[in-house]
Each structure stands twice: as structure tokens, then as C-alpha cells.
Chains A and B, each alone.
Chain A
Amino acid sequence: MENGFSSPRSDAFPAGLRVLVVDDDPTWLRILEKMLKKCSYEVTTCGLATDALRLLRERKDVFDIVISDVNMPDMDGFKLLEHVGLEMDLPVIMMSVDGETSRVMKGVQHGACDYLLKPIRMKELKNIWQHVFRKKIHEIKDIENHESIIEGMHLTRNGSDYSDDGHLLSVDDLTSVRKRKDMEKNHDEKDFSDASSAKKARVVWSVDLHQKFVKAVNQIGFDKVGPKKILDLMNVPWLTRENVASHLQKYRLYLSRLQKEKENSGMKHSDASPKDPPGSFGSIHQSDVVNSSYLFSGNSLLPRTVDPSSHEDDLKSIISEPVMEPKRPPVNLPDSHKTKNSQMGFNRSFQPLESEVDFAAFNSGIPTKSYWGEVPDVQFGQEHTPFVHLENGFTKLPLPDPLNHVNADSLQSIPCTAERGISGPTKSKPPCPEYGSNQISDPSPKVSILDPFPQSSKSNIVNHQRALEPIYPCTSSLTTQASCLSCTADIESAQRDVLNLASGSSSTLASFEDDLQVLFQGDSYGDTLGVRNLGFSDYIDAGLINEVPIHLYDSLRFGYEYPCDMTEYAILDQAY
């Protein structure tokens, strides 16, 4: 019986989650404290709502999540919830012995992320980290939109995301098992949020909207701003307090990072801005890096390192992880890859190498999948590589056609069999449904494709979009509005269209989104920024090691095992 409760430490990520529990009932307070501790969370308890609020105000950024009772003598739990939402923008879980729908609804309306009924069980508490995680993901999504306006923000945000995660994911905890879980989570979240997008439309912070926001902030004064005030001043009917709150949070981070950025390396920053295309699709890129940060943020990965050696270090750590993954086919790490990694610091050298490597990765990965089993591994890879070289040459010229081919090919190769894949770029375009049906979103490929075309310009964008056209006729809005500011929005709406048309699952949507992101990432980004380099280097690292294709492939996935990995390949190809 004593072992009725096994150690909750088996899954490491949420360990250390900082939870504030507020309940006027001392008995429950004690039980919750004990339960949360058993979950390896850091617990602070508070018997009074007013105390809790004071604590939250005094020590901002000390808690990840708040659990509060609904009925408290000194302050209604809903009121506390409102305050926390307004001022700290933390996820709040309400709890009560009352399960009346109206009560629960009230909680949700006030912004509770969950409503637990007493008696609360350990397993429910164990799971609360998901709210923290989900919030992060939503933040990232918001940033994607947000940053289509603010250039360079992604850079600054990145740093913060890393550090944010730092306290959630400690280095030691980064086991491959958990990583995979995270990735799945990540994936799930994506699907979830996409599916729910009909209910809660994601706010696209257009230039106008953001300017309104900034104006409001300035009017109120930066020290005194609160989401509610801003919202009132902005006077945008459809905007919710939550939208503003999350935007404000990002804006704050942005400013503080900007400050640091200035202090550290103004050069890098100034270097970046002129190269950014007006649309700044790189916002998406940023999210990729963030995604990846979930995987190894605990590590030494600092986004702004441009130093090649540090890249190498990072890479090593990344690379070494897949090797430890027990499920992987045993692959040796040849020394060569280390030396190649060291090239990573030099951006310029990436491009030629990169594409070749990508394809190698793409091909080599295939045989590892059972349903591709009949494909001869090596041969496959070899056949593709020359193409890639060719392709690469073309892509440097603003020629749309080769791209088109490649895209078509890659798309085709998803549903197709080995021979198709081998036949390469000359193949005709695949039918749309096939494409969709096989898609499963996986954030990691995005990371890996960050900078396939460091020097590419708008012409590439056009190319990519063209490439898309045959596959998804319904995305025409993409083509017509290439590289404009509203592109992100268009993509999103297009994605929804695609979803509807293809009547695919939400995962289809998500994956398509990923694909699109990939496409644009490649286009929009120069290679100057450290963050980008980082992302790029992650990718390159994977790509460079084409002698170890499987392993390489694995490192692309960062230990994330998913049944339908072909998506990745499609994405890879599409980038070309």
C-alpha cells in the first residue's frame, strides 16, 4: 500500500512548475500543497485572496499558474481571477465543491483555464502544466502574427522564450522520452487551437491595430498600462481583454529585449532590419526557433550566439540526443559530422551544402519508416542528391520552374511509393487529397528549414507560391498577395479554406500551416541574425551529416517519433 503512489517524477518537464494555491479552507490548502509537491511542483499557498493578489503583484514572474478556490470570504474567487488575468496574465484554475453549470461558466467567462471540482484528485493536478504549456504555444502563435509588424521582435522575443522555458525545462530533465511527449503536445496543441479557431479567432495584429495599441500604451503611460485600459482606449469592438493582455505581455518583453539588444550588439540588429522583407514572414521562423526551444532550451542554446564554436556545441548536444534514443536504428556518429558542424558558423557556406544535405535527409529518412520499407535507402538518397544540386543552382536564379518541379515531386512522394520518389522532380503534381491525407504537423521540420535560401529574395516567394498553386488551388490568395504585410493573415485564412475544402482533419490544417510557414521562412529571411543562424544551424547540422542519414533524420525530428513522418520530407522538399 505504501507504494500506492509511485514517484511522480517519471515525467520531468512539468517538474518545478511554480504554482500558487489560494484557498480559505486550510484543510484543502494543505492537501493541495501536498499533492502538488508530490507532482514535483513548487507550491506556494495562500489562505486569503487578498494576500494572494498582493503576492502576485509584488513578485511578478514568480508563478507559472494559479489555483484558486471560488468562494473565499475576503474576495470572490472570480474577482481574483479577473485581477490575475488583467495584471499578470497567468493561467488560473478555479476550484469549487459546486459543479453547477452556471458557476463553471462564470469561471470560464472570467478567464479560468480550468474548473476543478472538489474533491480534487492528484491526477487532475498532475496535469495542470498543460495550461502553462498551452499558454506558451498561444503566445507563440500570437507572436507570429504580432511580428509580422514589428521587425526584429522575433529576435528579441526569442531570448525571452528561451529563458522562460529555462525554468520549466531543466537540463537534466531533457530526456528524449519527454521531448517526444512535448512534441506531441505541441502538435496536439496546434491541432486544438486550429480546430477551435472558429470559436475564438486568432487576432492578427495588423500594423494599424498595433499602432493603435502602441498609441494607447503611450497615452496611458508604460508603467500604468493594463490590458483593460488599453482595450478601452483602442476602442476595437471585437478585441478581447485577453488579446490585449497577451499582446501587452509580448510588447513588454519586446521592449525589454530591445533594450538588451541595444546594449549588447546593436550591429546585429541593425544589420537585420534592412534585409527583412517588408512582410517579415520571419515571424514564423521565430516560432520555429521557439518550438525548438522546447526541446533543448534547458541546454546552452542561446539564441544570439553567432560564434561558430558555440554552434558546434549546440549541435553536438542536439546530435547526441538522437543517438541515445533507444528506438533508433543504431547509427554511428562519424567524426566527419563534427567537423562539418563547425562550418555552421559561416552562413554563406550553407546554401550549397544545405540543399544537398536536405535531400539526403529527406531520402534517407524514408527507409526508416516501415511503410517505405521497400525503398532502398542508399540508392534513394543518391539519386536525389544530384537533383538537389541542380535545384540549388536554379533556385539561386529567380526561376520558378525548377521549384515547381521539386515541389510537385516532393508532394507526390508523400503518398507515393518508392519508384515515384526516385523518379524525382520531373514527376507531375500529385492530387491534392493525397497530399492532405498524409500530412501530420510536426514543428521540428520547420526548425530545420529555417534558412534554406539565405539569400533568396521575393522571387522565391513567388516561386513557392506557384509551387503551391497546383496543389491547393484554393490558396490563390497567397499568390496574389505575395510578400505583403497581410500575408500571414492570408495564409491563415487560406489554411482554413484548405481545411474546409479538403475536409481534412485538423492535423491536415496544421501541417499545411507548417508547410506554408516553411515556405515563407525560406523566402523571407536573410541570414544575418544570430537567432536565425541558430535555427539555421540546427537545420544544417541535420543536413550536413548526410553520411549518417538516419541519424541525421532523427536529429531533425529531435527524438520525436511520429507515425507519419513523411510530412517532414514534404516540407523539406517544398522549401525548394
Chain B
Amino acid sequence: MERNQSRRQIAVTRQSLFDQGFLDEQFVQLEELQDDANPNFVEEIATLYYRDSSRLINNLEQALEKSPLDFNKLDNYMHQLKGSSTSIGAKKVKAECTQFREYCRTGNGEGCVRTFQQLKKEYGLLKRKLEAYFQMVRQAGPSQVACRPK
């Protein structure tokens, strides 16, 4: 009974991530890749993503402190971050990346800085949400991983 409840809770949490626009279909793709060989594949990918993207965010942070801004460089970094963010289906982060690159194109430094702040917010928020979610999944046991909403 308790188990069922935790399962339901996981499902609700998971669904809210989609409903609130944090995640997109790519996350489901990752869940589908999860199998006996990689029972925690989604979490593994999320961990990889946060490890790698934090490097990129640092790069961006530094590049944004320079003046004048090197928009090419910024765009290049953001391109990488965007590509990386698509990997876990970080929908909101991706949207900010797109916005940032648009400002790069138009040479809008202020827009870049503003968007970057927003991006970091979304990035951090998703990270916390995912961490909480994965913890729930881990506690619920292996049978709980990779639940696809029907």
C-alpha cells in the first residue's frame, strides 16, 4: 500500500515536470532507453548533463564579464549548452538558450546578460526538481524506474 502510494507520488511528480514545461518528449526518449543493462539510464544522463553543462555555464559567465562582449564566442558556448540541454529534454533551459543566441545575433549584450540570469534560474530549478524526482525513484525501487505516462 505504501509502495503504491510512493509510486503514485512519483508519477505525479514526474507528470508535473512535463505539465509545468520543464521537460519535453526527449526525457521520455531517455526513459525508453532505460533497460536491464542501464536501469538508471535517465539519472545517469541527467548527471552527465549537469556535470558537463556547469562547465559551459562557467565559460559563459566568464565570457559575459568581458567587455566588449564577444558575441561569436558567446553564441558558440550557448550553442553547446543548447545542444546539451536538448539531450535531457530541458525544455525551459533550451528556450532560454535560443533566446540568448538570438540576442547574440542582434548584438544585444544586455539581453544576453538578462537571459543568462533567467537561464541559470531555470537550470538550477530543473536540477533541484530532477534531483528530488530521482531520489524518489531510487527509494521506490527498481521496478519504478522508467514509467511512461499512458
Contact = CB atoms under 8 A, between A and B. Distances in A.
Interface of A: 1-2, 4-5, 24-28, 30-31, 34-35, 38, 69, 71, 96-98, 118-119, 121-122
A5 B35 contact: yes
Interface string B68-110: 0000000010011011101111000000000000000000000
Interface stretch (B24-32, B112-120, B124-132): B24-32
Contacts of A69: 83
Given A1-B147, A97-B83, A27 B35 contact: no
A27 B87 contact: yes
B148 interface: yes
A122 B89 contact: no
Contact of A119 (B26, B41, B51, B76): B26
Contact of B33 (A26, A31, A98, A119): A31
Interface string B17-55: 000000001100111110100100100110011011000
A4 B32 contact: yes
A31 B80 contact: no
Given A1-B146, A1-B148, A4-B148, A27 B32 contact: no
Given A25-B80, A31-B45, A119-B25, 15 more contacts: A4-B31, A5-B33, A26-B48, A27-B84, A27-B87, A30-B44, A30-B48, A31-B30, A31-B33, A34-B33, A97-B79, A119-B86, A119-B87, A119-B89, A122-B32
Contacts of A30: 44-45, 48
A109 to B, nearest CB: 20
Contact of B87 (A2, A31, A71, A96): A31
Contacts of B33: 5, 31, 34-35, 38, 122
B44 A118 contact: no
Given A38-B33, A96-B83, A118-B87, A27 B49 contact: yes
A217 B56 CA distance: 47
Contacts of B29: 119, 121-122
B48 A71 contact: no
Contact of B82 (A1, A24, A97, A122): A97
Contacts of B84: 25, 27-28
B79 A27 contact: no
Contacts of A122: 29, 32-33
14 contacts: A1-B146, A5-B33, A25-B83, A27-B48, A27-B52, A28-B83, A30-B44, A30-B45, A30-B48, A31-B33, A31-B45, A38-B35, A118-B87, A119-B89
Contact-residue bracket for chain B: 20 to 34
Nearest to B98: A97
Contacts of B82: 97
Contacts of A27: 45, 48-49, 52, 84, 87-88
A25 B87 contact: yes
Contact of A71 (B25, B83, B88): B83
A34 B30 CA distance: 9
A26 B52 CA distance: 7
Nearest to A28: B87
Contacts of A121: 29
A391 to B, nearest CB: 60
Nearest to A118: B86
Contacts of A38: 33, 35
A17 B88 CA distance: 26
B35 to A, nearest CB: 7
Contacts of A98: 79
A5 B13 CA distance: 23
Most buried by B among A2, A69, A98: A2
Nearest to B87: A27
A167 to B, nearest CB: 24
Best-buried of A24, A28, A31, A69 by chain B (most CB within 10 Å): A31
Most buried by B among A1, A5, A27, A119: A27
A112 to B, nearest CB: 17
Contacts of A1: 31, 146-148, 150
Given A4-B31, A5-B33, A119-B29, A71 B76 contact: yes
A97 B82 CA distance: 7
A29 to B, nearest CB: 9
Contacts of B35: 5, 38
Nearest to A34: B33
Contact of A34 (B25, B38, B51, B146): B38
A71 B45 CA distance: 20
A2 B48 contact: no
Nearest to B25: A119
Contacts of B76: 71
A298 to B, nearest CB: 27
A25 B49 CA distance: 9
A114 B48 CA distance: 27
Contacts of B25: 119
A24 B31 CA distance: 23
Contacts of A2: 146
Contacts of A28: 83-84, 87
Contacts of A31: 30, 33, 45, 87
B32 A5 contact: yes
A28 B85 CA distance: 10
B147 to A, nearest CB: 5
Contacts of A25: 52, 80, 83-84, 87
A523 B89 CA distance: 61
A28 B84 CA distance: 7
A218 to B, nearest CB: 45
B83 to A, nearest CB: 4
Which A-B residue pairs are the 3 nearest by beta carbons?
A1-B148, A97-B83, A27-B87
Contacts of B80: 24-25, 71
Nearest to A117: B86
Nearest to B48: A27
B50 to A, nearest CB: 9
